[in-house]
Amino acid sequence: MRFFFYGTLRDRDLLSLVLGRPVARDALKSATLRDWRRHPARGKTYPILVRERGAETDGDLLDGVSAGEQRRLALYEGEGYRLTRVFVTTAGAPGPLGALLFVPSDKAPPALEGDWSLDAWRAQHKARAIDVVRENVDRLGF
């Protein structure tokens, strides 16, 4: 299965921990999701997507995600997100590619105005996020 990641799971260290396997740098391909905008989630360190006509959100595609890894991703994302199918564009692809994406459910926190930055998240919150996932491996069912 192919997944599109737009937030914290664009970080290979975190993604590898959640999937339970190393993710090579060249396994992630840059992609663009149209008609969605990434915003900070209120009271959280991660982003949330909001539908917005004409907007574009950059992210990464990962092919070859197994059913077991999909389950781990769903456990990590929690009940605030649901899985949906989207189409994204990539450089060099002849047309849009289908991918799975976690989008906010009605249980997700509200979005704040402004942009969310992966670089800022890495500098300010990555270490704690890695620790939290490691501390909760058993509870999450990993």
DSSP letter for each residue of 46-76: SEEEEEEEEEEEEEEEE----HHHHHHHHHH
Query: CB of 17 within 8 A of CB of 134?
Result: yes
Q: What is the largest CA-CA distance in the chain?
A: 43
Q: Tell me what pLDDT residue 5 has.
A: 98
- Return the CATH number of the domain spanning residue range 3-140: 3.10.490.10
Q: Tell me what pLDDT residue 69 has.
A: 96
Q: Tell me what pLDDT residue 138 has.
A: 72
* Angle formed by the axes of helices 12-19 and 126-135, nearest 10°: 10
Q: Tell me what pLDDT residue 142 has.
A: 66
Report the distance separating Cα 20 and Cα 81, nearest Å.
Answer: 20
Q: pLDDT averaged over the chain? A: 94
Spell out, as residue ranges, where the chain has pLDDT lower than 50. none
pTM: 0.93
